[in-house]
Structure 1
């Protein structure tokens, strides 16, 4: 496993561009590890409706960057007290949505630091029932990213200020606020630690059993390509905000794989626009599923015929087929 040096970059859009560039262009003959620390920013999950996840007024006031990532899951707040890790590996069916596999080495290092860390729920690392890390994945079909956050000493108050947390998510977890669930790793350490020291400790721990530790520095040409990807994708409104649709029907449900939120625009009995949002994880882009339904009659029988043979788990993970069809067109629509 080769460690990619991001050379102290704190720009979230450049760091996400670097991560995607490495995923799509670096050699498939080896695995890579990338660390990055972002300036204050909100990182939106691939399938989320940005305008409904953020407190836009507060974000504008505090000049917090908003960036969409390629992986699914929910929105997270990043700042200089948060360390992000990313494993870039070959795609493996057994590894996709296997958060235990990729969090295990991180948890091992945290335990060596005296933390009683464990993976809980779908994709959270917790200490004493408090979330200190969230993880997500993305696959191209050939290569995949398994990445996550590690809250060392982040401004937790900003999480509530910058993010609009949906009541369905709070109620489903049985908690009254985000702040009651999230904690900094610093709270569980005997001695305070700077983020740079934490980064070094984690890197050393992850490579403890490896004899072929190698650091990789991008060439000037590779950095140019990363900057180009940032400008063409991660700097654009279309990528970061552009999925917000016109709709006249909204239907949402929380499944075991996460929340699925549908926005449907029906005109003269036909689906003119169809958008799927949520914090689920899937391999295939939901845009393909959306296109399938556009133009169809908004009738239950038609919806059933279109969706009955579709492998929905490729888009959402394990989800009951009939329950999803009921969500698209239920009796209470």
Structure 2
């Protein structure tokens, strides 16, 4: 087993690294890594329905889609991520096994005096509060299992970044289930830094797997991972455009009156728009509805479209920035 202590904190790079080792290596892999603040959404989720877009933008939180299913999770440097990539032979109906890959984590915590448990479908908890969510992806005869370990994360940021109005979106995408959460560090009997705890996890894995050896990314590895990150994980199309079809309805109140946008979005593009409200304007908003159809549901693209109009002719005393707020 290759044991990788990955010090890169770019979420796009780290998710690409998982895919790179999954699809291009034959060896089994265990990797520990951390991300700078980011929301990592599940493969089958509607990204905009999972994030507080205003909070995310104001706090420079990155948003990246992963290969695995499940719900959206918040990462920061107080959170440790662990990845197993294992070769599996035999019955492919039994490839998904969350307990198998979370057991080593539970053993580390129990050695540290913490009564951590596996609960539900794919969670680890302490005193009924979640500190780890897990997900898996199967590729040929290899399984990628990864999970989060909230160690000293900023839990208020986690709550705020994932706080979305449930009435805003109507879709068939997989929804995240919100749980009470806790940090591992709050339950330790001796103080540890996040990096010291990371070392404990790696040591336990290397003792557990007798064929394990440390592996450092080569220049070729880094170059290939960077390319994959640029081609997939850093693109708007992967992170937002892959979202299932959804309806968005949002109402804002401005000095110029109330404005409501109802959007149908498919494959990341606005398919249909209806605008309602008690605002005033001398031109027909159907012009704007027609212009927005076919535009990517992404702020720069929408802003470029709106700036082609003298918006005040359609929405008296309402700015482009306010309209943008109503569309996201």
TM-score (norm 1): 0.68
Residue in 2 that maps onto 1:327: none
Residue in 1 that maps onto 2:3: 3
Structure 2 Cα separation of the partners of residues 11 and 192 of structure 1: 27
SS in 1 for 2:208: coil
Unpaired runs of 5+ residues, structure 1, are 169-176, 250-262, 266-271, 273-333
1:4-37 Cα distance to aligned partner (Å, 9 max, x none): 232x10111101111110000012xx32101101
Structure 2 Cα separation of the partners of residues 208 and 36 of structure 1: 19
Residues 95 and 117 from structure 1, CA distance in 2 versus in 1: closer, same or farther, beyond 3 angstroms?
farther
Residue in 1 that maps onto 2:68: 71
Structure 2 Cα separation of the partners of residues 248 and 43 of structure 1: 22
Contact 1:95–1:101 (8 Å) recurs in 2: no
Q: How does 1:1-333 map to 2 (within 5 A)?
A: 1-6=1-6, 8-27=7-26, 30-91=27-88, 93=92, 95-164=94-163, 178=178, 181-244=180-243
Contact 2:44–2:243 (8 Å) recurs in 1: no
Residues 183 and 229 from structure 1, CA distance in 2 versus in 1: closer, same or farther, beyond 3 angstroms?
same
Structure 1 Cα separation of the partners of residues 71 and 145 of structure 2: 15
SS in 1 for 2:74: strand
SS in 2 for 1:148: strand
SS in 2 for 1:74: coil
Aligned residues: 243
SS in 2 for 1:241: helix
Residues 210 and 89 from structure 1, CA distance in 2 versus in 1: closer, same or farther, beyond 3 angstroms?
closer
How far did residue 216 of structure 1 move? 1.1
How far did residue 246 of structure 1 move? 5.2
1:53-110 Cα distance to aligned partner (Å, 9 max, x none): 0011111110001000000000000001000000001245365331111111111111
Contact 2:3–2:206 (8 Å) recurs in 1: no
Structure 2 Cα separation of the partners of residues 75 and 190 of structure 1: 30
Residues 247 and 36 from structure 1, CA distance in 2 versus in 1: closer, same or farther, beyond 3 angstroms?
closer
1:236-286 Cα distance to aligned partner (Å, 9 max, x none): 00000003455579xxxxxxxxxxxxx998xxxxxx9xxxxxxxxxxxxxx
1:296-322 Cα distance to aligned partner (Å, 9 max, x none): xxxxxxxxxxxxxxxxxxxxxxxxxxx
Q: CA RMSD of the aligned region, Å? A: 2.6
TM-score (norm 2): 0.69
1:188-245 Cα distance to aligned partner (Å, 9 max, x none): 1012211110010111122223443311122212211100000000110000000345
Residues 46 and 91 from structure 1, CA distance in 2 versus in 1: closer, same or farther, beyond 3 angstroms?
farther
Contact 1:113–1:189 (8 Å) recurs in 2: yes
Unpaired runs of 5+ residues, structure 2, are 168-176, 249-263, 272-328
Structure 2 Cα separation of the partners of residues 243 and 158 of structure 1: 25
